[in-house]
Amino acid sequence: MTDFDVALKSAECWLELASGERITLPVQQWLATQPSDEMLLAHCAGPTLDVGCGPGRLASALTSRGVPVLGVDVSPVAVRLTLARGAIALRRNVFDPLPGEGRWHSVLLADGNIGIGGDPVRLLNRIRRLLSRDGKVFVEIDPPGTGLRRQQVRVNGSGTWLPWAWLGADAVDETAGAAGFRPRWIAEGGDRWFTELVPR
């Protein structure tokens, strides 16, 4: 069981930061499709990889629209929930070998998953190798003014400390550029912020 399995099974869940700050995790938002998810879903017209798919709300929504999609997550609970929704998912770390490398039309990084591994540039470099030549990355980001932050975190104040990152809209240009991407758009919808990144 991973630390994030705890989050998916808990009514109340939070991240403890090494700084002592505590951030509540929106587990209920992960479970049910939100109107603002359309900011991501509407742009996925080809084979899509949902990185850190969680309980599979986005993968399931795309499957119902006839979009080929694969969810990947390190959490066995997340993979099981995604499969139960009728979508395809694998228990896999994004930095490990994945099916279809170099052929994905779209990659989703929703729900703060740009923070995976604590280094968005490293993560985007990995995503670039997964994408087809004209592929796109759709990323949920933090509001403007928050910049790029990195910290060690752990779930519910126990378990393993993990490196994590948060990317604000004001830091997208520099961060994406360091990985060979440029933002096509940055927009707010439903009190959430999103960007589409394309290779330079």
* Pairing verdict, β 192-199 and 181-189: antiparallel
DSSP state of 76: H
**In whole numbers, what is the pLDDT of the chain averaged over residues?**
94
Query: How far is it, in rounded angstroms, from Cα 153 to Cα 123?
Result: 17
What pLDDT digit, counting tens, does each position of 61-77 carry?
Answer: 999 999 999 999 999 99
Q: Give 172's contacts (C-beta < 8 A, 6+ positions apart).
A: 141, 183, 186, 195, 197
Judge contact between 145 and 137, C-beta under 8 A. no
134 sits in which H/E element: strand 131-141
Residue 175 has pLDDT above 90, yes or no: yes
What pLDDT digit, counting tens, does each position of 101-140 carry?
Answer: 999 999 999 999 999 999 999 999 999 999 999 999 999 9
Query: How far is it, in rounded angstroms, from Cα 136 to Cα 43?
Result: 9
What's the whole-model pTM score? 0.93
**% of the chain surpassing 70 pLDDT:** 94
pLDDT at 140: 98
pLDDT at 52: 97
- Structural domain 3-199, CATH architecture: 3-Layer(aba) Sandwich (3.40)
